[in-house]
Structure 1
Amino acid sequence: MADPSYSILPSPPFDTISSVRYSPTDPDKLLVSSWDTSVRFYHVGEPNGKPSEQLAKFEHRAAILTCCFSDSTHGFSGGLDATIRHLEIGTEKIATIGSHTDAVSGMVYSTESSCVAFNALVSGSWDCSLRLWDPRAATPQQTVTTTPERVYCLDMTNHNIVVAMASRLFNIYDIRNMSTPAQQRESSLKYMTRSLACMSDGYATASVEGRIAVEYFDPSPTAQAKKYAFKCHRHTVDDVDQVYPVNSLAFHPVYNTFASAGSDATVSIWDHKVKKRLRQYPKFNNPVGAVAFNCDGTRLAVGVGYNWDMGEKGMHEKPGTEIGIRRLGDEVKPKNWTG
């Protein structure tokens, strides 16, 4: 029987989905980037209301690794061609605002007007740099911050930007002063960082080896004593422990629980305060590469598709992609929630 809380968007990308991002202000608008060199913009509908549909498609010259919204009608994208693009969703126009010297691997848009003189786009790259852009300028200006290693992913909460890099390194920046990191850390996990997501007082990070670590910004010994790591996205097959990468993390905007997505084709919801899993959703047909909550916390977008963990052979065994939308209930709410 079909699950009434789960639906599939039309016209998915035909190659690996690299990111799914909801609008920060409109719970029905979604951007999806892909290795098929496109960014797609969707209206996410209701079962008994306006149906879901693809409203725009932005073609690029190379695979897209990351995208984000600034508001419900403007977005940005970056990927293997090292170019930062501004996407005007209403007209489907694309404008180049600048570039890195290697692939763009992550981006966030800051609306913290108290932190900087303008709303800023921050991009990270394999060229070992962060760049801060003012997209409103006729000739967008950039501030370049050199990082000690290639940037794999980044996320932001309030004025804190967390940057995950190669060699298991992390830098935490204050967007009001990007010249030097406020903190420099080494990952609590032993293997390569695969994903990252921020909460108000810290962040969660995950590795290719099926583990998640919960970290806190406060450097005091009391706060650091609360950090921990745990195993996940693992299954026992014929008495052998199969370990899978954790490809994506996302925090719920209301309850501060978080979702994890793995190459084991599952998505789980976790309450990091009590260190428990609240729900594991039914297994998908392919690995899950990206997840995102919408701004009011009523939906979870899921990007499903083969992500090359098993090489070319696996691509032929499990072709196809899917953008799923799960309508959320109390399973994302902490058991002791009193808000």
Structure 2
Amino acid sequence: MEVPLEIPIGDAISRIQFAPNSNNLLISSWDSNLRLYDFDGSVLRLEAPSEAALLDCCFQQDDSVAFTVASDGFIRRYDLHSGIIDPMGNHDDMATCIGYSNETCLLITSGFDKRLLSWDNRTKKHFSLSMTLDAEIDSMSLNGFKVTVGIGASAHVYDLRKFDKPNLSMEPCNGTQLRCVSSIPYAEGLAVGSVDGRVALHVSSSSNSNDIGYTFRCHPKSKDGQHHLAPVNAIAFSPLVSGAFVTGDDEGYATIWDARSKKRLVEFPRYSNSVASLSYNHLGQLLAVASSYTYQEAKEIVEPPKVFIRKVDNIDFGSSSARRKT
């Protein structure tokens, strides 16, 4: 069953994210509004206007505080109970990615100023550390003490406890531009989606000789009798089923895969826009899908952005190697 959320959103959706401990959904958008939707109560709890397009968002470790980064470079903190918005600091150019680490209590942001910044919300000055990279960061993902960033065709993994150089650097799609990166929650590793429709997974071990890595064509589509590939915009791993992850592409398809067998488990009916962002709830029973143009392609379909919630706890995985967590 799938439920469309009746929320008018005036411009492209940049990110959707379920709360750490509830079914509240955070939605950031290019229309400069941060929205908080209570799925259980079927009500919009908060709509907070900002001064610039919001390019990413995240929760803190509980459900009461959220953060955004915006086209004006500013990082903003939102009290989701009172609606109060506080600026924390800024990048020197557009701020594009944000994530929160529960393990370190640090907020990590990146921007077009080629800097990766960390912020400590427990101090008055907030700002903690800065690292200047060689190029703009296109995508970012946090898991535990690790932050994974995508820069051009390269993926780099940093340890937040030793924030000076990457522990791992690689070109997982052999020189092809990356569109998204995702840390693997159940292992030391990463998954990436590329502009040519490939997904690459790399799982690290204590011995480099035992590292596991593979790439597969994720979203091959047929159009006008010709085979073409749709860029992969988003990847999210299931908290409920170990080894299962979902991808979303520019053609509007969301597909669940088995990471171990590389087999497609289910492909949902096509959405009217690109799949711009994906998020599982904390139990892995619900999947949020943002159907929105992304400003990535010149010929994108421009339909009103929408968010859909799909129940996924009843999917039959059959003989797949992906298994429900107990």
Fold match by TM threshold 0.5: yes
The aligned counterpart of 1:216 is: 203
Q: Hey, what's the Cα distance between the residues in 2 that align with 1:294 and 1:272? A: 19
Residue 39 of structure 1: which of 29, 34, 37 is its match? 34
Pairs within 5 Å for 1:126-165 = 126-165=112-151
The aligned counterpart of 2:94 is: 103
Pairs within 5 Å for 1:242-321 = 242-256=228-242, 257-311=244-298, 314-315=300-301, 318-321=302-305
The aligned counterpart of 1:85 is: 76
Alignment check: 8 A CA contact 2:286 2:312 kept: yes
**Which one-letter code corresponds to 1:64 in the other structure?**
L
Q: Hey, what's the Cα distance between the residues in 1 that align with 2:8 and 2:261? A: 37
Q: Hey, what's the Cα distance between the residues in 2 that align with 1:12 and 1:81? A: 24
Q: Hey, what's the Cα distance between the residues in 2 that align with 1:253 and 1:9? A: 23
Q: What's the CA shift string for 1:93-140, capped at 9, x where partnerless? A: 11001111111121111111xxx4xx1101111211111111122221
Total equivalences in the alignment = 319
The aligned counterpart of 1:11 is: 7
Shift of the 104–133 alpha-carbon distance from structure 1 to 2, 3 Å rule, reads: same
Alignment check: 8 A CA contact 1:236 1:242 kept: yes
Alignment check: 8 A CA contact 1:211 1:229 kept: yes
Unpaired runs of 5+ residues, structure 1, are none
Q: Hey, what's the Cα distance between the residues in 2 that align with 1:258 and 1:191? A: 22
The aligned counterpart of 2:47 is: 57
Q: Hey, what's the Cα distance between the residues in 1 that align with 2:295 and 2:136? A: 21
The aligned counterpart of 1:180 is: 165
Alignment check: 8 A CA contact 1:195 1:206 kept: yes
Residue 218 of structure 2: which of 232, 245, 262 is its match? 232
Q: Which structure dedicates a bigger proportion of its chain to helix?
A: 1
Q: Hey, what's the Cα distance between the residues in 2 that align with 1:59 and 1:286? A: 24
Runs of 4+ in 1 over 4 A off after TM superposition: none
**Which one-letter code corresponds to 1:101 in the other structure?**
D
Identical counterparts, % of pairs: 27
Q: Hey, what's the Cα distance between the residues in 2 that align with 1:75 and 1:66? A: 11
1:250 CA drift (Å): 0.4
**Which one-letter code corresponds to 2:39 in the other structure?**
V
Q: Hey, what's the Cα distance between the residues in 2 that align with 1:39 and 1:333? A: 36
Unpaired runs of 5+ residues, structure 2, are none
Q: Hey, what's the Cα distance between the residues in 2 that align with 1:332 and 1:107? A: 34
**Which one-letter code corresponds to 2:143 in the other structure?**
T
